[in-house]
Chains A and B, each alone.
Chain A
Amino acid sequence: MKIYRIHALICAGAQCLAAGGNGLEDALKEELKKHDLTEEVNIVETGCMGSCELGPLMVVYPEGVIYTKVKPEDAAEIVEEHFLKGRPVKRLLWKQEEKRFPTLSEVPFFAKQTKIVLRNCGLINPEDINEYIAQGGYEALAKALTEMTPEDVIKVIKDSGLRGRGGAGFPTGQKWEFAYKQQSDTKYIICNADEGDPGAYMDRSVLEGDPHSVLEGMAIAGYAIGAQKGYIYIRAEYPLAVKRLEIAIKQARAAGLLGKNIFGTNFSFDIELRMGAGAFVCGEETALINSIEGKRGEPRKKPPFPAQKGVFGKPTVINNVETLANVPVIIEKGAQFFRKFGTEKSPGTKVFALAGKVNITGLVEVPLGTPLRTIVFDIGGGIPEGHTFKAAQTGGPSGGVIPAEYLDVPMDYENLPQLGTIMGSGGLIVMDETSCMVDVAKFFLKFTVDESCGKCTPCREGTRQMLNILEKITSGNGTMEDIDRLEKLGNIIKLTSLCGLGQTAPNPVLSTLRYFRDEYIAHIKDKKCPANVCSMRGAKNERKVVNRRPA
């Protein structure tokens, strides 16, 4: 193995590339050549490092010096000053509240996180299986296949208390056991990578930054339930994740970690990619099954549950990306290790995508049960100068808002529903006093109306009616009866919709009505938008709701 004096990791996640990171690697290599340093400095393109807003990011080891907003033009200075003379480039160091933080471990954003799911993201080259293996990758699969029975594997996952990270928080071990008990020669594992919640992008970052952790998790799940095949259903909007997954699958096959008789055992397992095509509802598991089968992504009635009758009519386990990325760690280190993090009923960590009106946005992994205040203020650095925290939105279009008075409530699967919201996939959008809560509710309703598949009436027609009422209120034509109508309609839609999309669609409205009713009333009675967002220009401003899909 070659020994380098310096390892420079540059983030090649989609957001850093879009922020100008494209070309940084070439520029650095060019400069290294000029100074004859190619043998001494190793440039590694990694996945997402998390603090995407400050991207393109670069971390230089052994010290862990972190540079933010690095452009190809900065390459010459970094190589000459830092790599050649050992003087870090001060102007590029992490800056917060006028203070510079020279190394990664000193930056509060990183220091206060606990990384299990994102353990390798930003640390290894996702396009090289050897880097994953060097971090202990595929050891859990080896352990499962050679030292454990499928029952053992299921027991460990059950004992760990791992819950589905896609939104509902269903116990993963229980799901596996259910599928394990089904009698069938063919079973399937599906990785749900149809991450569609506005504001959530942790799954994309895991797939781009550490694709093998998901493949390994799937193979372990396959062994546990007796499946020989897995599908990853991924959004077509994530071309970089698709590319990295394709590379990972190819390398895993070549290394004998996917395919026939893995580790010389009787267990054979292979994985194929299936692409989505822009339909939010396909994140719902039965709609996803239809889509994999090449049909319209409309949800099916449950029961039968996918574990009984899933894709192609066979028992199927569907797990989210983040859930699967946890699996190798639990198998390798044991259930008790996993339970060291989080709470009794919500063990482990959760990755949140911190966005909106907060100083440092990006991916944040913390133990479940961490108060919202810690995430927004200690890690995210608080609200930008001169503004105040008003609310945080969790769970995307299926969730609700958490107002300032609940900043200290632990974020877990028990507490959030009590506040009228859900964990969802981990989108966390912070809003300050310049955000109008009625506008936010309207925004999500518009989203649901667009994305409703149209199969069941409550969701198709009900959400549209709710949106019409919100349009009326935000244009200054609302009446007090409209508030009652919104609540009544919302509760009916929740009770009577076919799938999770409709059952949760009214949440953003019901939740903002619960905490910010006075804002609705101000729109109606005073014809005023307190945050000055809605134009309130009367009826002519009312937007017509049209169906995007051709008839």
Chain B
Amino acid sequence: MKGKSLIDVLHEIQESNPENYVPENLAKKVSDTFKTSPAKVYGVVTFYTMFSVMPRGKHIIRVCRSLSCHLADGKKIVKKLKEELGIDFGETTEDKEFTLEESSCLGMCSIAPSMMIDDVPFGNLKEEDIPVILKKVREGVL
């Protein structure tokens, strides 16, 4: 475990899990490895917004809610995403493909409004782009 912090290990667990979350049994194992209590690990997992203790979709959509995106009518993009996916923030689509989340700032203010799907950034978003992007991600082209 040299060179890894508890948070790095939690990232690895979550990334290798197709359901994108930290399951209880593994969290317990982590607490053993780091000689700490399961409660402490639970405290860490629930503190950071990128970790989840509940199963999530295959792809995580993070919409930027920074002021630049807000001024660039990011609200419309959020509305369109919610419509297309039929879910609200923090929810997962029925087919378990997407979970919709917010991010404080993705640092892409020059191409606002922006979002990330997993590790892929998208900018200069228009409402009509959303269904196209979602379709491509579903088909695995992106």
Contact = CB atoms under 8 A, between A and B. Distances in A.
A450 B3 CA distance: 31
Contacts of B44: 294-296
Nearest to B53: A550
Contacts of B122: 18
A201 interface: yes
A278 B50 contact: yes
B109 A361 contact: yes
A499 interface: no
A237 B124 CA distance: 18
B60 to A, nearest CB: 11
Nearest to B34: A294
A104 B112 CA distance: 24
Interface string A232-247: 0000111100000000
Nearest to A430: B71
Contact of B49 (A19, A393, A548): A548
Interface string A421-441: 000000101010001000010
Contacts of A204: 107
Interface in A21-64: 51-53, 55
B70 interface: yes
B35 to A, nearest CB: 11
Interface stretch (B7-15, B77-85, B92-100): B7-15
A549 B110 CA distance: 30
Contacts of B34: 294
Contacts of B8: 274-275
A237 B116 contact: yes
Interface in A451-480: 451, 453
A73 interface: no
Nearest to A202: B107
Nearest to B90: A548
Interface of A: 14-15, 17-19, 51-53, 55, 195-201, 204, 236-239, 272, 274-280, 291-298, 353, 355-357, 361-362, 393, 396, 427, 429, 431, 435, 440, 443-444, 447, 450-451, 453, 548-550
30 contacts: A14-B108, A14-B121, A18-B108, A18-B124, A19-B123, A52-B108, A52-B111, A53-B110, A195-B107, A201-B108, A204-B107, A237-B62, A274-B7, A275-B8, A275-B11, A276-B7, A293-B5, A294-B5, A294-B34, A295-B40, A296-B43, A355-B68, A362-B110, A429-B67, A431-B71, A435-B71, A440-B67, A443-B70, A444-B67, A550-B46
